[in-house]
Amino acid sequence: MKSDKIPPVRDVFSSKIGVLAAAAGSAVGLGNIWKFPYITGVYGGAAFLFVYLGFIALIGLPIMLSEFMIGRKSRSNVFGAFKNLAPKSGWKYVGLLGVAAATMILSFYGVVAGWSIDYIVKSVTNSFASKSPEELASMFTQFKESPLLPVFYQLLFMLMTMAIVIIGVKDGIEKYAKILMPILLLIIIVLDIRAVTLEGAKEGLYFLFHPDFSKLSSDGVLSALGHAFFSLSLGMGTLITYGSYIGDQNNLAKTALQVTVADTFIAILAGVAIFPAVFAFGIEPSSGPGLVFITLPNVFQQMPGGVFFSVLFFILLTVAALTSSISILEVVVAYFREELNIKRNLATILATVLISIVGIFCSLSMGLFKEQTLFGLNLFDLVDWISANMLLPLGGLFISLFIGWFWGRKRIEEELAKGSKLSRGLITAFIFVVKFVAPGAIAIVFLNGLGLI
């Protein structure tokens, strides 16, 4: 598997549970625990959540299945996948879009993961003890605006990601994801219990689950769509790349459903841990990217064994981020290796260096360069917005068009017959969605969000 021959002997996941663990490991990450609560807060709560859930079911799930199919059929990186399946056509540029999105996403993702590492240290040194909500908020602001420490942790995280990718798909990814993700889930449930029993918790649950659709803007709807892609790791070829490592005996439809349900469930559980606490401690729900880091220390402070739980939580959040970041880096590395003929280790190092440099600027845009903005956004927010709200939906649009219009029913049936037994009715529904519903909805939301219609 570490062969540097081109074309390399490709990796195959060793077991069904390995496939599931790796794909779920990619999907579950900072998107669920950091980004979902923060943007739900920014866009007004329940209405955003419901639109997001609609996009997950209607667009996310079918596109996830599409990506798995493209990957498994082509056994190739994103760019090569389209090149193999649609030779001499422009489809391969969809792959290039994916490589660009991966580069951008990992650059700011590494920054947030770095924050999580810093919060492990803060937890170990008991830095949250007897601080007021205001003090905890300014502690975060001071940290993220400082020029050195966040960059240091971001680079540390990128080094960890690089090391795991160099070790390789099977040994690196499967082993960690299988054991650690269930523990993270348990801790979130413990946090949920503490959060909903706080005084004033009800208001938070109301905010999260009682929709007021009049509060929803077209920007909010586009962000819900973008986040559906971001959270499920869709639209840039992560799951095409992972699909290329999946054996023919695997049931792709079942895996897609399991990953989608698990990912969504964890995001909602994270929301249930955050919003009751946001209201109980008088924090602004629309506080932005710091929301989780400002809110949770208050909760840890108010629970028995708080230090223990907070250390464990931030360690596992970092691990969840790692199982996602390796999947993002793998997109770029697989492209470098298979298309540009760069050896695996060198490809990994090059991609890491490139992404880390962009990441340093994302981190500095929180403090040193915070006055430098474009469309009112600093570099961090801009890279996040462009990649999640533009590149991923566009990638998803092309992927669904590719499967729906270019591939056609016969090849879809053939691919789905391997390992799964979907009824004809379900296959017809799937084709209808990828042909019309998903591309139509993405196009409308996208153009509307940009103010073009």
Q: Tokens standing for 385?
A: 């917005």
Among 20, 22, 23, 27, binds ligand PHE (CB under 6 A): 27
Question: Which range of residues in 4-12, 28-36, 151-159, 177-185 is near ligand PHE by CB under 6 A?
Answer: 28-36
Q: Does 231 bind ligand PHE (CB under 6 A)?
A: yes
Give exposure, 187-210, as e/b (b: 16+ Cβ within 10 Å).
bbeebbebbbebeebeebbebbee
Rounded CA separation 334/346 (Å): 12
Question: Which range of residues in 15-23, 26-34, 374-382, 409-417 is near ligand PHE by CB under 6 A?
Answer: 26-34
Q: Does 326 bind ligand PHE (CB under 6 A)?
A: no
> What DSSP state is assigned to residue 10?
P
Among 184, 224, 328, 358, binds ligand PHE (CB under 6 A): 328
Please name the residues in contact with 61: beta carbons below 8 A apart, sequence gap of 6 or more: 256, 257, 260
Question: Which range of residues in 135-143, 202-210, 231-239, 339-347 is near ligand PHE by CB under 6 A?
Answer: 231-239
Helix pair angle (175-196, 291-301), 10° resolution: 70
CA angle 356, 360, 366 (to 5 degrees): 145
> For residues 318 and 363, which CB has a smaller minimum distance to ligand PHE in the complex?
318
Q: Does 30 bind ligand PHE (CB under 6 A)?
A: yes
Show the site string, 32-51: x = touches ligand PHE by CB under 6 A, - = not: x-------------------
Show the site string, 67-106: x = touches ligand PHE by CB under 6 A, - = not: --------------------------------------x-
Complete DSSP assignment for 85-100: HSTTSTTHHHHHHHHH
Q: Does 356 bind ligand PHE (CB under 6 A)?
A: no
Per DSSP, the three-state class of 377 is strand
Rounded CA separation 238/339 (Å): 16
> For residues 32 and 244, which CB has a smaller minimum distance to ligand PHE in the complex?
32
Q: Tokens standing for 354?
A: 């490139």
Q: Tokens standing for 288?
A: 């932005």
Q: Shortest Cβ distance from residue 323 to ligand PHE (Å)?
A: 9
Rounded CA separation 230/252 (Å): 20
Per DSSP, the three-state class of 374 is strand
Residue 374 φ/ψ, nearest 5 degrees = -135, 135
Q: Shortest Cβ distance from residue 26 to ligand PHE (Å)?
A: 5
Among 77, 161, 238, 318, binds ligand PHE (CB under 6 A): 238
Q: Tokens standing for 279?
A: 């209201």
Q: Does 29 bind ligand PHE (CB under 6 A)?
A: yes
Q: Does 223 bind ligand PHE (CB under 6 A)?
A: no
Q: Shortest Cβ distance from residue 206 to ligand PHE (Å)?
A: 26
Among 26, 66, 77, 116, binds ligand PHE (CB under 6 A): 26
> For residues 114 and 306, which CB has a smaller minimum distance to ligand PHE in the complex?
114
> For residues 113 and 280, which CB has a smaller minimum distance to ligand PHE in the complex?
113
Alpha carbon distances (Å) from 187 to 98, 200, 318? 33, 22, 14
Q: Which residues bind ligand PHE (CB under 6 A)?
A: 26-27, 29-32, 105, 230-231, 233, 236, 238, 324, 327-328
